[in-house]
Amino acid sequence: MIPVDGFKGETVAVLGLGRSGLTAARALQAGGAKVIVWDDGAQGRAAAEAEGFDVRDLTKPGALEGAVTLVTSPGIPHLYPAPHLAIRAAWDAGVAVDNDIGLFFRSLGHDAPRTVCITGSNGKSTTSALLHHVLTSAGRTAHLAGNIGRGVLDLDMPGPDDVVVLELSSYQTELARSLTPDICVFTNLSPDHLDRHGGHGGYFAAKRRLFAEGGPDRAVIGVDEDEGRFLAGQLQEAPVDDRVIRVSTAKLDGPGWNVTAKKGWLAETRKGRQVASVDLRDIAGLPGRHNHQNACAAWGAARALGLSPRDIESGLRSYPGLPHRSQLIAERGGVRFVNDSKATNVDAAAQALQAFTGIRWICGGLQKEGGLDGLKPHLGHVARAYVIGREAAAFALDLGGAVETEICTDMATAVARAAEDAQPGEVVLLAPAAASFDQYDSFEKRGDDFAARIAALD
């Protein structure tokens, strides 16, 4: 655990007692703070009480009296669509609002590790895990935390030669009061969490804050969308500025530092000259164009950390992949079953659909804003869609006849029907293009159910 500095003898409130909140409370206490906590759920409050924390309803008048800071968990809205009542109370009382990421950065001493922060709409989990794998494969001591794996304050205090890789969501980047990363990575941007950020511009602003206020020594930026180009342009001082590494799935011209993956070939160029290349097409853990973009982003960050092309390529080739992200579950009778339950929005599902041919597509769930029109240009490889979810009929209707559909409603039916129809050489792909919360607690639970149904096939 990393004890939080700067609050010894002070009262600090913690709102939300899930993984990051309860860890933050422990870390604050370890640093000498007087900690009061609250969670809207009885289970979270009970867990805190069992550890001896002072549980106090922070929405009540006077509950924050004497507190200097309120630390809130990522899932709790602090502005849009409406601030939590405890956040409002903090504003009214003049109490600062922060999160565990801000506490982490303020607690690093003079012998701080190198930190790499990775954000974006899609691919940030894979990029983070891939970079961590590349570093450890090359013999570097690296830690993976944030929005993936462990809460950041749950890490043991890293040493000065270590590297901390943090996956950060927009919920985390928009609120952290202290941001001092060494390297920042922006993968891409597509519409997501728009209600939480007051629209697309607010969503991008939350991501951009990591770069604008973080002031990284180097920035690795995906430039396949205008937002990435804008961000790179803001950070770059001249055409040749090696503080910015541009990443793309198309060829990039110009004299800067670029890492591209056109048609499956990764190429690194600097000052107009190619300095390294790798064929990504036969790397099993990185299938498809979207994973090639992730590989480019991880490559750029690893190069910024001083790794050689040979060491990075070795790490890419041994990468096993992440659960629920283009994960090969099984192969039966020449049919592959692939779990991409993390494809919870249209853009992520479109990338998964482009990675395979001969697809039996399991999709559906709790739709996000914007509809499904963005998927329609990418359905050419889909033989049939097997739609799940409580609103399966509406989801199928929204596809607008672009693909043949079968309304299955539940995962068991969808897997059984897709497996029955699939021919050798085809892929049964779970890429829902929707959130899981109409039927599952998380996308992980949905992916686990998919895998269990495959295991149960006759």
- Please indicate if the annotation marks 169 as binding a ligand: no
- Please indicate if the annotation marks 126 as binding a ligand: yes
Nearest to 290 by CA among 338, 235, 353, 346: 353
Residues in the chain, total: 458
Task: Tell me the per-residue pLDDT of 377-408, one tens digit each, with 9 for 90 and over.
Answer: 999 999 999 999 999 999 999 998 899 999 99
Contacts of 403 (CB under 8 A, 6+ apart): 361, 379, 382, 384, 385
Nearest to 363 by CA among 333, 407, 330: 407
Which ranges constitute the DSSP H helices of 98-246? Answer: 100-106, 124-137, 170-173, 194-197, 200-212, 226-235
CB neighbours of residue 423 within 10 Å = 11
Nearest to 422 by CA among 395, 393, 398, 386: 386
Instruction: Give the tokens for residue 204.
Output: 């991008």
pLDDT at residue number 160: 94
Angle at 77 between CA 72 and CA 78, to 5 degrees: 70
The Cα–Cα gap between 458 and 450 comes to 15
The Cα–Cα gap between 443 and 171 comes to 18
- Please indicate if the annotation marks 62 as binding a ligand: no
Domain 11-98, CATH among 1.20.1250.20, 3.40.50.720, 2.60.40.10, 3.40.50.2300: 3.40.50.720
Angle at 66 between CA 61 and CA 68, to 5 degrees: 110
Q: Where are the beta strands (DSSP E) in 250-371?
A: 257-262, 265-270, 273-279, 327-332, 335-339, 359-363
The CATH class for the domain spanning 106-318 reads: alpha beta
What is the model's pTM? 0.85
Q: What architecture does CATH give domain 327-455?
A: Alpha-Beta Complex (3.90)
β-bridge mates for residue 75, sequence order: none
pLDDT at residue number 167: 97
β-bridge mates for residue 327, sequence order: 339
Which ranges constitute the DSSP H helices of 256-345? Answer: 288-304, 309-318
- Please indicate if the annotation marks 120 as binding a ligand: yes
- Please indicate if the annotation marks 258 as binding a ligand: no
Which residue bears the tokens 């790798």?
278
Tell me if 17 sits within 8 A of 54, measured CB to CB: no
pLDDT at residue number 254: 84
Which residue bears the tokens 């992916």?
447
The Cα–Cα gap between 238 and 232 comes to 11
Q: What are the Cα distances from residue 115, in Å, to 6, 176, 261?
A: 21, 15, 25
- Please indicate if the annotation marks 251 as binding a ligand: no
pLDDT at residue number 287: 87
Q: What are the Cα distances from residue 216, in Å, to 81, 115, 201, 258?
A: 30, 10, 22, 18
Tell me if 393 sits within 8 A of 416, measured CB to CB: no
- Ordered by start, the domain boundaries in the chain are 11-98, 106-318, 327-455
**What burial class does residue 274 get, using C-beta atoms within 10 Å of its C-beta: 0-12 exposed, 13-18 middle, 19+ buried?**
exposed
pLDDT at residue number 194: 78
Run means of pLDDT, 10 residues per run, the chain, 458 residues: 94 94 96 97 95 96 96 92 96 96 91 95 93 98 91 94 96 93 95 82 92 93 96 92 94 92 95 95 88 96 98 96 89 95 91 93 91 92 97 94 95 98 97 96 96 93
Tell me if 365 sits within 8 A of 436, measured CB to CB: yes
Task: Tell me the chain's radius of gyration from C-alpha atoms.
Answer: 23
- Please indicate if the annotation marks 124 as binding a ligand: yes
